[in-house]
Structure 1
Amino acid sequence: MDTAPLSDTAPLSDTAPLSDTAPLSDIRVLEFGHYIAGPFCSQILADQGADVIKVEPPEGDASRSTVPLSYNDVYFHALNRNKRSVMLDLKSESGQESLIPLLRTADVVVTNYAVGIPERLGFGYEQVREINPGLVYVHASGFGNDSPYAKRPAFDGIIQAMSGLVHLTGEPDGMPMQAGLFVPDHVTGLYAALAVMFGLTRRQSTGEGSFTDLSMLDSMMSLLGPCLAESLQLGVSPMRVGSRVRRSYAGTYTAADGYVYLAPMTLRMWTALAGVVDAPQLLPYFTDADTDTRLEHRDELDRVIEAWTRAHPVAEVVARMGEVGVPSSPIFSVDALAADPHVRHRGMVRSIPMESGSGEVVVPGSPLPVVDSAFASGPPSIGEHTEEILGVDPSDPVRHPA
């Protein structure tokens, strides 16, 4: 991999850091979160200037790791930078006492604890609204508080399996496949951040707080697009198509030294592709908008195209297709993506200090302008800011019994 110093990947002026204009600079967020969805949501808010306080039990977020630069450790760093941490034992009377003033100063509560846990630990919505009626409260869980499945455990893979994502991923004659990333967790985190912003906007106009009961399964179902109508109204059950695109002539082809993605969607692009691969026999299958029969003959047409791509390296395929305006791309590995000129120009590979203070961790950048502290501060240690925020020493056995 062609690497460059991480400082070379900083955003340019068109994505300059926010300063006094940060939209959430006067907002305090309490995160009762673990793993991905809750922490990802609150990190997005922190990037926009919010004071995010991660409220943790004495043992810390369950996704913390004691092994520096292990898989869990780098994942925790990628989701918990630029926050502060308060350690509270909410199973104790003193922890509950300390929670009350914290709630009074908050604008937002974000949690992705399992249904029933917030109530058990004293920060369910009905409990906290008595303390602070203006709170914008978002609870993300697998199925939502009122679902018949509310008490079911739901990790990312469960939601992938139930949402249709696994069913629609993989080869037509092969097993259904999980996605390569934790898609439901991150999609839910994005929806949670949207819910916070909608709640804050509503509060600005009405003065009232709000509660959003967010379901991971619902979040993923929102991505199905036309699939429901296809199945329920057109009688066509969407199925796996492998590396192709459903209902569009685009897909992945084998090249001499890797794989390429080609998308000759329009008539002009199809004609240009036929010229590049020197296959005029492709042309009759798409002559105008009303006579596009390519999907019905996809297997035989793909064989013609792939006979050409297999004889040429990826770089040549992409270059020649680009010259005639056919959208194309290499199939990037993560290390190849990190070295790409666009990624470097846009500052999408960043580094943050490790929680221990020794060394750095590489993390994804943000697609949005962020506060200048966004990547200057790594995750807090457990309870690092307890005394600063509450005036309570987190090591005090009287205030924080084990």
Structure 2
Amino acid sequence: MKKIISIALLILISLSILSGCTNQDNKESLNLLEMKWEVISNEAEGETVNIYMWAGDKSVNEYMDNWVKPLVKEELNINLNRVAINDPKDMINKLITEKDVEKSNGSIDIIWMNGENFKLANENNLLWGPFADKLPNYNKYVDKEADDIKYDFGEDTMGMEVPFGKSQFVFIYDSNIIKNPPKDINELTNWIKQNPGKFTYPSVPDFTGSAFIRQTYMDLFKKDYIEEKDLSSMWDYMNEIKPYLWRQGETYPESSAKLDMLYSNSEVLMSMSYNPLHAFNKVQSGEFKESTDVFVLKDGTLSNTHYLSVPFNATNKAGAMAVIDFLLSPKAQTQKLNPSNWGDGLAISYDKLSDEDKLKIDEIYKKNKLEFLNEIRKYKIPEMKAEYIDQIEKGWNKNVSKN
């Protein structure tokens, strides 16, 4: 009997200790948002931070692995581990599962996302908290009142995610073959029909393919919201051009990377990207011809901001904050802007930079002939609200892909 009581007491004590540890972990996690930055930085030292990122672009991966990772180790004493994923929804599903089983020490410390994935994460309480204002570089260099910073596909970010970069949708083409690229949706439609088999787009859920469908909708109907009557006409349009696509639209490249391969092999004469400098990265690497160029449709070209956030159960929240702050530094953002690295748009405001940092950016523009970026900005239109994306993707699968 005494033995049974002793075992029971040991179990109760163990549970009490575990509960105390969990409560202590939660308390420390919450207190991070109340600490001074110097304390947070000290807490971050020595931590290993796992950043989960879509891995479909070689230049993105190399920027993170070859430039960011070594400097984060050298300057912050943080070990950065990039975890490659194919679909951002995989991260969300992983976090939902961990929340269901009440896993307090998750393996994801930073997630790279935007749009519908942010909306889904926010609705399911998968994000940690409003940490943005704790970051020195966010406060110093980001235009926090700009709509394309405050709102992610129409969703208020509420400080739960921090901008990482900006993008604009472009079409990629060979200027030696296409002398006068289409200027609007009507000219693009005519070009597709006049060049059968030489155009296609990635199938959803590929991000670029979904963006092409959304932009087509917005260019056709001049609306950033969905109406059923317009959707019906939209599917009619997509089916109208379908026989003129690569392989008569019987199949679609499964990713933007596969579309790039078709373009580089001259199976199609156009590709597309949500990064205006993507094509120039490919030229520099020798994957695309020197005659490759980009164009936008003057009906309007989609633009968005992509973000970094911290999950509710991130094990190394202090380290995550320190890494995100580093990625917002002028040094990291300038390096990311350079087409020799990633070629991604600035998340920080040029106007808030020092004269020295402005000069570095000006030199990148001049050296790489990036003045065209200022020209295509005239045609930027904001993304539609995240709530419509799922509707469009499911509609395309039902009415076009399987038709």
TM-score (norm 2): 0.24
Tell me which protein shows more helix as a share of its residues.
2
User: Rg: which structure is higher?
Assistant: 1
